[in-house]
Amino acid sequence: MNLGLLVIGLIGYAIGCIPTAWIAMKLSHGKDIRNEGTGNVGAHNVYDVSGSTWLSITVGVVDAIKGVAAVYVAQLLHGDWFAAVAVSGTAVVLGHNWNVLLRFKGGRGLATATGVFAMVDPLFLIVWWITYLTGYFAIRKNVHVGSMTAIIGTAVLAWSTPDRVIRDTTLVVCHDPMQMRLFVAAVSLLLFIRHVEPIREVLRTMSFSDDEE
């Protein structure tokens, strides 16, 4: 691997490892969020455990800023080199989801990925929300079902989006739209993996309900 990409990947991962939810819960409630609620180190679990909307929103915003920061640092160090942006943007989500400081526990990456795509191509944020709402209301009113629908839908739609549309909406220099599609797919895969267990729990709950009937 190019040394520059390795370095920016490590920087992106380090930014992702800032344990926002863990810090917030330690300072505000003296609790280790890994041992509370679902054990997820993210804004949703902060709300479930603390019941505090403002604390949950604060955690989500800071996690999104991590994504923004990773892309900004890549551009600062490497200018218009899209590969650097893609590596840093993917690495920051990886660090958030599998945090070496928390023994590889972490969040599910949605807020951090939001920050990344806000800097790279907001089109995919719009696509994400449309598919999320579709999954939430059309399939099942559950945030994890909506999120998984959005993750899969965004990855699939990225491959069917015309090259011209990608070029017109991208905020960074990307000469080959295929690179953007691969980037979206890589981030989506990291999000998908972290949402498998919640979806399994939803399916188990549905199965249990059916058995009771």
Instruction: Give the burial class of 35: count Cβ atoms within 10 A of its Cβ; 0-12 exposed, 13-18 middle, 19 or more buried.
Output: exposed
Please give the residue range of the domain that contains residue 150. 3-212
| Chain segment 83-141, per-residue pLDDT in tens | 999 999 999 999 999 999 999 999 999 999 999 999 999 999 999 999 999 999 998 88
What is the per-residue pLDDT for 33?
97
What is the per-residue pLDDT for 204?
81
- Work out the pLDDT band at 203, boundaries 50, 70, 90: confident
For the segment 152-163, the average pLDDT, to the nearest whole number, is: 95
Residue matched to tokens 């926002």: 20
How large a percentage of the chain has pLDDT more than 70? 96
| Chain segment 174-202, per-residue pLDDT in tens | 999 999 999 999 999 999 999 999 898 88
pTM: 0.93
Give me the number of domains the chain comprises. 1
